Structure 1
Amino acid sequence: MFEHTLDDYAHSNGIKNVNEYFKVLFAILTMLVSLISTSPVIPITIFVLVTFLIIFKAKIPAKFYLKFITVPFSFAFITFVFMAIFFGTGAAILNLGIFNLAVTADGFNLGFLTMARIMGGFSCLTFLALTTPMNEIFSILEDIKIPQIVVEIAMLMYRYIFVFLDEAINMYHSQETRLGYSGLKKTYKSMGMLASNLFIRTWLRGEQIYITMESRCYGGSIKTFKSRKDIGTKNILLLLSFESFLLLGTYLTWGLKII
C-alpha cells in the first residue's frame, strides 16, 4: 500500500514555493509542443528534461516516479507495437511469420511517434501533479472563471478520493497487524473483507465530514486559499527561453523519421 500519495509530494517537493501559474504554464506549453511535433526527437527530449526536473529539482524519489509512470508507459508501448503491425503501408521491414503480419516503415514511424508523444505529454502532467497542490490548481480554475459549481464538485471528489484511500490504508494495516496476510488463503479472505467493507466505511466517513463542514458554517460554497507567490522575471525568461528552444527543435526536426 502506498504511504505517500501525489498530494503528499505536491505539498513537500523541492519547488513547492514556485508560482503555481508558472508551473501550470510550463506544463501546458511543453505538452502542446510535444503534441504538435512531427518527429519523436522533441517529445523524447521533453520526457528526459522533465524527468530530470522531477527527480533532481523537485526532489521526487526516483522509485516512486518510476512506479507512477509504469502503467501509462506500458500502454504507450502496447500502442506502439499495435500501430507498427496494423498501421502503415509499403514494404515490410520485419515479417512476423504468423497470419501474414508484418511491420512496415510507416507503421513503425507512426507508432514510435505516438509513443514518444505519450511519454512527453504524460511527463508534463506528472510534473504538474507532483509539484503543484490541488488547492492551487482549483484557485487557478476559479481565476479563469470556470463555473463555481464545477470547481466545487471537483474539490469534493478530490477530497473523497483521499478519504477512500485513507480508509483502505487503515483497514489494511489493521488486518496486517492481525496476521491477515500471513498466507494465501488468509490473504484472499482479508482482501475480500476489505473490499466488502470499504465502501460502507467510506460512506460513513463522508457523512461525518459533511456534518463537520455544516457545523463550521458550510453554506454550499467552498472558498479556496489564494497564495500570491511572485512569478519573477527570471522564471518568465527561463520559460520563454525553454519553450523557444523546443519550438526551434520542432522546426529543425520537422518530419524527421526513425526509419
Structure 2
Amino acid sequence: MPQIDSLAYNNGLSQKNPWIKASIGIFLLVLALVSESILCHLVIMVLLFGSLVFVAKLPARRIAKLYTLPLVFLCMSLLAMVLSYQADKIDYLFFAKPFHLGINYASVEVAKKTFFRSMAGISATYFMALTIPINQMIYLLKSLHTPEAFIEQMVLMYRFIAIFFEELHTLERALILRGGYRNKSLMIKSSSIIAGALFDSMMRSFTSYKVALDCKLFDGHFYL
C-alpha cells in the first residue's frame, strides 16, 4: 500500500487529467473481461506496462514486483482449475493412477484464457492505481455525485490501511535487525509480537484521531 501510494504521487502521469486516465483504465478493464482473444489480452498488458515504464517513468522492477502477490493467488487458482477427475483417461494429457486425476485439453484451454484475462485485468487495475492519486480519486467520485458517506468511508479506510502497513513495515524491520526471524520458534514468537503491537498501535492511532476531531468540533462531515 505505501509503495503504490508513493508511486501514484511520483510519476509522469500523476498530474494529468484524471478523467482520461480513469476512462482508459476502465475501458481496457472491461475489454479484458469481455474479450476472448489472448492476443487482445497480451496487447493490453504490454500497452499498460509500457505506459507505466516509458510514459509515467516508473521503475520496471518495482512494477513487476507488484505482480508477485496476484500471480501467487492466480497460479493457485489455475492449479485447481486444470486438475480434473474422470472415469477414463481418454482426453488426459497427464494423469495419476489409479484415480484418473489429471490434466486434459479442455481444462488447459480454460486455464490459459483465464490467466491472460486475469493478467490483463490486473494490469488495467494497476494502471489506475499507479496513475490516479487518492486526491484525484476523490475528485472523480465527487464529480460523479457519489454519496459523501461512501467517500468519507473510503478516505478513512485508506488512512488506516496506510497507517497499518507503515507500522507493520517498521515493526518487521526492528525484529529483523534484532534477529527475530533466525529460526522457526523465534519467527512464530515474532509474529505474535507484531500482531499485538499492531493492534495496540491501531487503537492508539484511532484514539488520537478521535481526539483531534473532537478538538476541531467535528460535526460528522469531513467536507472533502
In structure 2, how many angstroms separate the alpha carbons of the residues matched to 1:79 and 1:173? 32
In structure 2, how many angstroms separate the alpha carbons of the residues matched to 1:6 and 1:52? 17
The equivalent position to 1:13 in structure 2, one of 5, 11, 14, is: 11
Matched, 1:96 2:95: yes
Within-5 A mapping of 1:78-227: 78-86=76-84, 92=91, 94-98=93-97, 99-176=99-176, 179-181=178-180, 183-184=182-183, 186-224=186-224
Instruction: Work out whether residues 85 and 107 of structure 1, in 8 Å CA contact, stay in contact via their aligned partners in 2.
Output: yes
In structure 2, how many angstroms separate the alpha carbons of the residues matched to 1:100 and 1:171? 48
Deviations along 1:38-77, whole A, 9 cap, x unmatched? Answer: 1211112211211111222222222322221112123323
Instruction: Work out whether residues 87 and 106 of structure 1, in 8 Å CA contact, stay in contact via their aligned partners in 2.
Output: no
Bigger RCO (CA 8 Å, 6+ sep): 1
In structure 2, how many angstroms separate the alpha carbons of the residues matched to 1:173 and 1:103? 43
In structure 2, how many angstroms separate the alpha carbons of the residues matched to 1:19 and 1:92? 52
Aligned AA for 2:147? P
State the match for 1:251 in structure 2: none
Q: 1:77 to 1:168 in 2, by over 3 A?
A: closer
Q: 1:187 to 1:82 in 2, by over 3 A?
A: closer
Q: CA deviation at 1:202?
A: 1.3
The equivalent position to 1:50 in structure 2, one of 48, 52, 63, is: 48
Count of aligned pairs between the two proteins: 220
CA RMSD of the aligned region, Å?
2.6
Q: State the SS of the aligned residue for 1:5.
A: helix
State the match for 1:72 in structure 2: 70
Instruction: Work out whether residues 79 and 111 of structure 1, in 8 Å CA contact, stay in contact via their aligned partners in 2.
Output: no
Instruction: Work out whether residues 80 and 108 of structure 1, in 8 Å CA contact, stay in contact via their aligned partners in 2.
Output: no
Aligned AA for 1:94? L
Aligned AA for 1:70? T
Q: 1:176 to 1:100 in 2, by over 3 A?
A: closer
Q: TM-score, normalised by structure 2?
A: 0.85
- Mark the runs of 5 or more structure 1 residues left unpaired by the alignment: 225-259
In structure 2, how many angstroms separate the alpha carbons of the residues matched to 1:84 and 1:220? 51
Q: State the SS of the aligned residue for 1:220.
A: coil
Aligned AA for 1:53? S
Q: TM-score, normalised by structure 1?
A: 0.75
Deviations along 1:154-189, whole A, 9 cap, x unmatched? Answer: 110111111222222333444455x24373355543
Percent identity, aligned pairs only? 25
Within-5 A mapping of 1:20-31: 20-31=18-29
Q: State the SS of the aligned residue for 2:96.
A: coil
Q: 1:149 to 1:92 in 2, by over 3 A?
A: same
